[in-house]
Amino acid sequence: MEGARQPGGRHRHAVWLAGLSLFAMRVAGAQVAPDSVTRLPVRSILVSVAPSTGIGVGSGVPARAQVVDRDKLSPAGARSLPVALGRTAGLSTHDDLGSPWKLTLNSRGFAASPVVGLAQGISVFLDGVRVNEPEASQVNFDLLPLEHVARVEVLPGTSALLGRNSLGGAVNLVTRGARDVPRGTLELSAGDYGSRRGVGSLGHATARSDVWLAAGSERERGWRQATSARQRHLLLNGGRGDEARRMRGLAFFAQSRARTAGSLPASVIATRPDSNLSADDYEDLGQVHLSASGWRPVLGGESHGTVFFRRHTAERFNRNQVDDPDIFAQSANRTTGAMADWRRAFPWGSLRAGVEAAGTAVAIDIYRDSIKFAGSRVRSTRVTSSGLEGATFLLGEYTRRRATLTAGVRGDYLRLPYRNRLDPTLDTVNTFRRLSPRVGGTFALHPRLVAFGSWGQAFRAPSILELACSNPEQPCPLPFALGDDPPLAPVVVHQGEVGMRWTGDGARFSMAAFRSDARNDIYLLGSEVEVTGSTIDGYFANIGDTRRTGVEVDGEVVLGGGATMYASWTGTRATFQTEAEIFSLREDEEAGVENEIEEGDRLPLVPDQVAKVGAAWRHARGLGVSADLRYVGRRYLRGDEANDTRPLGGYAVTDLQLSWARGMWGLTATLRNATGRQYAAFGGYNINQGHAAGPLVERFLTPGEPRWLDVSIRWGGGR
C-alpha cells in the first residue's frame, strides 16, 4: 500500500472557516502594548514575535519560533489542528485511531495526541490556557475552536518556561473576536462521504467594548465503514476597557462524537482499505472552557492575569480481541486555575516574572463488557484524583548592541493523590518537584541576519494512567485497569539548539539544528504474570535514555504578480540510548523473536525526514490557486522498537485549492490527496484473529485518507 496509487474516484471533504478573534499581548522590547490588531490581552507563549519576521534581537525567544497566521493555516477541509498545520515546517502526523478527527501531532520526535496512554511530549494552549487533560495529558484536537483562530504560535523544541509536557515544543491557538471581523459571517460547505458543515458568527464593537458570538456544526459519514463523526460548538467572547486597562472573557462549549476504525491487517488493507475490524469503537466527548483575563500598568511595567475553568467528559468503547471482554470507560476532568505575570522593559533589557496555580479533579470508571459473551458490564475500576499544580518562573534579558542574552528558570510542583474507590487500601500520593532552567542568546550578524542558540531543560511528569499501571507484579490488561503501583520518575529532557534566520525584501530563510537527550523515558513493558480476562497485558516503567537529533530548514519567497512559494525540510534521528525489552506482540519465545532494544535503535513512528513545498497565486480580482506537496519519510512500526522488520515506506500527498472572493462573498474548492495516493498513516503489530490460517501476528496499518473534494461558500467580512 505504501507508494501505490489508489484506484477509483470517490471524493469528499469537510471545510473549516474562520470567524472570530481574540487577543494577544506583545511583551519585552522598547514598549509593552496590546496586539495592534485585536487590541485585547491574551496570554502568548512567545515574546514580541511577528508573523512576517519571526524572532529578532530582544525577542526573548532564542529558538526557531514560528507564528502561523490565519492565511498560512491549511485552508478548507481541516477538521483538526494537526491537519491545519500541514504546511508548517517540522511538523508531521500519524493516525492511531483511524479517524481524521483524531490525528497525532509530531514535533522533533515527541507527540501531542488524543490517544489515552500515549506519551505526551507537546503542550497545547488555547489563549495561553493549557488544554492537555489532567487524566493522561492527552489533547482532544476535535474540541478546539479551529474555525475561530487568528493565529497559531508554534515553538518547537524544549520549552522550559512553559511547564510539563513541553519536551518537543508547544502550540498556542490565539482566537479571534469582533475587532478582527466586525460584521457577521456565515459559511456553508459540503463534500465527499457525506461531509456537511455550517459556521456562523455575529459581533459588535465600539471604541471601548466588543462582543462576539459564533456557533458551528459539522458531520460526515466517513470514508471507512462505520466511521461517522459529528461536532458542535458555541463560542462567546468580549472585552471592555481602554488602551491602559482592559478586560476580556471567553466561553467555549464543544461536543464531539467519532466512530473510529483503527488499523487493518496488511492482508486486508491491500484489498479493502475501507474495512473496519472494530466497527463498534467510539469516543463521545464534551468540553466547557471558560476564561477571563486582563492587563494594566503595575510598577512601571505591565501585569497580565488570567483565571480559567475547564471541564471535560468522555465516554469510550473499545472492541477487544475475540476472546477478551470489551472495554467501556467513562471519565470526567475538571481544572480550575489562575495565572499572573509581570513584565517591564529597561534600558539594558527586560524582566518577566510569573506564577501559576491549578487544581484538578479526575474521576475514571472502567468496565469489563462481556455482553458479546451473553454476559454483563461489570465495573473493574473506579479511581478519583484531586491534584494540585503550582509554578513560578523568572525570565531576564540583557541587550548590548547587537546581542541579547536570555536566562530563565521555572519551578514546578505537582501533587497527584490517588484514591481507589473499590479498594481504599491502595490509596497513595505522588509528588513531583522540578526546576527547569533555560539560557540562550540572539545575535544580529547583519541587519537582515539573526543567529540564535539556547540550552534548556523540560520535564514530563508521569500521567495518572502511567502511575496506575507501573507494577510488574500486577500488570494491567490493555486497555488499562488502574490501581496503586510503584511511582515512576519524571522524564527530563536536556535540549540544545543553534540556528539562524535571514529576512530580506520579499523573502525569508531559517534553519536550526537541535539535540534532545531524554532521561528516564517511560515505555510499556511486557509481563510474564497472567491477567484474568486479557490476552494482552503489560506495565509502564522508566527504561533509561532516548535521544532526538535533527536539522530543520525552511524558506519562503514572494515571486511577484501575486505569487508566493515556500519549501521546508526536516531530518530527524530519534534513537534509544539504553538497552531494554519493550512490550510487543511480535515476541515469540518458541520462534526466538524478541523485541530487545539496543543502543542506536530508532524510535517508532518518527519519520526520518519530512519535506514540504507549495506555491500560491492570487489575482487582483479575487481569483486564487494553490498547490501543496508534503512528503513523510520512513518510520519504524510500533512493536518493532528493535528495528528487526521492514519500516513503513515514505509517501507523498498533494493538495490543490481554487478560490474566488469578491466583496462579502467567497467560494473555495479544495481537493485533498489529489492524485489518489494510497499510503500508511500508522503502523504497528497486532493479532489478526480472523486470519484463514488461525490467529496470526502481522503488520497492522492505518490507511491514509483517499482523494477528497470539498466546496464551501462564505459570506461576511474577513476570512
Residue 5 — pLDDT band, cuts 50, 70, 90?
A: very low
Mean pLDDT: which of 43-47, 358-362, 500-504 is highest?
A: 358-362
Q: Which of 10-19, 140-149, 467-476 has the lowest mean pLDDT?
A: 10-19
Q: In sequence order, what are the beta bridge partners of 566?
A: 556, 614
**HEC secondary structure over 153-194:** EEEECCCHHHCCCCCCEEEEEEEECCCCCCCCEEEEEEECCC
Residue 485 — pLDDT band, cuts 50, 70, 90?
A: very low
pLDDT digits (tens, 9 = 90+) for 251-273: 999 999 999 998 999 888 888 99
pLDDT digits (tens, 9 = 90+) for 129-175: 999 999 889 999 999 998 898 888 888 877 777 888 899 888 999 88
Q: Is the pLDDT of residue 712 over 60?
A: yes
Burial class (CB in 10 A: 0-12, 13-18, 19+), 207: exposed
- Report how far residue 623's alpha carbon sits from residue 615's, in angstroms, rounded to the nearest whole number: 14
- Report how far residue 59's alpha carbon sits from residue 531's, in angstroms, rounded to the nearest whole number: 54
Q: How many CB atoms lie within 10 A of CB 119?
A: 22
Average pLDDT (36-63) is 44
Query: What pTM did the predictor assign?
Result: 0.89
- Report how far residue 178's alpha carbon sits from residue 180's, in angstroms, rounded to the nearest whole number: 5
Residue 176 — pLDDT band, cuts 50, 70, 90?
A: confident
Closest CA to 314 of 143, 146, 125: 143
Q: Which residues contact 687 (CB under 8 A, 6 or more apart)?
A: 321, 535, 585, 695, 696, 697
In CATH terms, the superfamily for domain 25-199+210-241+255-716 is TonB-dependent receptor, beta-barrel domain (2.40.170.20)
Q: Is the pLDDT of residue 11 over 60?
A: no
**What confidence score (pLDDT) does residue 717 get?**
64
- Report how far residue 299's alpha carbon sits from residue 352's, in angstroms, rounded to the nearest whole number: 12
Grid cell, residue 256, equals: 464531539
Q: Is the pLDDT of residue 7 over 60?
A: no
**What confidence score (pLDDT) does residue 522 get?**
85
Q: Is the pLDDT of residue 55 over 50?
A: no
Rounded percentage of the chain residues whose pLDDT exceeds 70: 85
Q: Is the pLDDT of residue 219 over 90?
A: yes
Pairing of strands 196-205, 537-560: unpaired
Residue 374 — pLDDT band, cuts 50, 70, 90?
A: confident
Q: Which of 22-36, 345-359, 383-397 has the lowest mean pLDDT?
A: 22-36
Residue 20 — pLDDT band, cuts 50, 70, 90?
A: very low
Q: Is the pLDDT of residue 56 over 60?
A: no
pLDDT digits (tens, 9 = 90+) for 363-372: 998 888 888 8
- pLDDT higher for 105 or 325? 105
Note whether 40 and 245 are within 8 A (CB).
no
- pLDDT higher for 590 or 297? 297
**What confidence score (pLDDT) does residue 474 get?**
64
Closest CA to 376 of 367, 384, 388, 389: 367
Note whether 13 and 192 are within 8 A (CB).
yes
Rounded percentage of the chain residues whose pLDDT exceeds 90: 48
**What confidence score (pLDDT) does residue 645 get?**
94
Cis peptide before 479 (omega within 30 of 0): yes
- pLDDT higher for 574 or 61? 574
CA 611 to chain centre: 19
Q: What is the DSSP letter of 260?
A: -
Grid cell, residue 322, equals: 475475540
Closest CA to 509 of 564, 556, 551, 451: 556
Grid cell, residue 529, equals: 504474570
Note whether 647 and 636 are within 8 A (CB).
yes
Q: Is the pLDDT of residue 24 over 60?
A: no
Note whether 596 and 623 are within 8 A (CB).
no
Grid cell, residue 634, equals: 520512513
Grid cell, residue 9, equals: 474516484
Cis peptide before 486 (omega within 30 of 0): no
Question: What rounded mean pLDDT belongs to the chain?
Answer: 83
- Report how far residue 601's alpha carbon sits from residue 635's, in angstroms, rounded to the nearest whole number: 12
pLDDT digits (tens, 9 = 90+) for 57-96: 334 457 777 888 887 776 555 778 999 998 899 899 999 8
Residue 18 — pLDDT band, cuts 50, 70, 90?
A: very low
Q: What is the DSSP letter of 487?
A: P
Q: What is the DSSP letter of 603?
A: P
Q: In sequence order, what are the beta bridge partners of 19?
A: none
**What confidence score (pLDDT) does residue 3 get?**
42
Q: Is the pLDDT of residue 23 over 80?
A: no
**Strands, DSSP E only, in 181-325?**
185-191, 196-205, 209-220, 229-241, 246-259, 264-265, 282-298, 301-318
Written as one letter, the residue type at 144 is L
- Residue ranges of alpha helices (H) inside 48-88 are 81-84
Element (H, E) at 467: helix 464-467
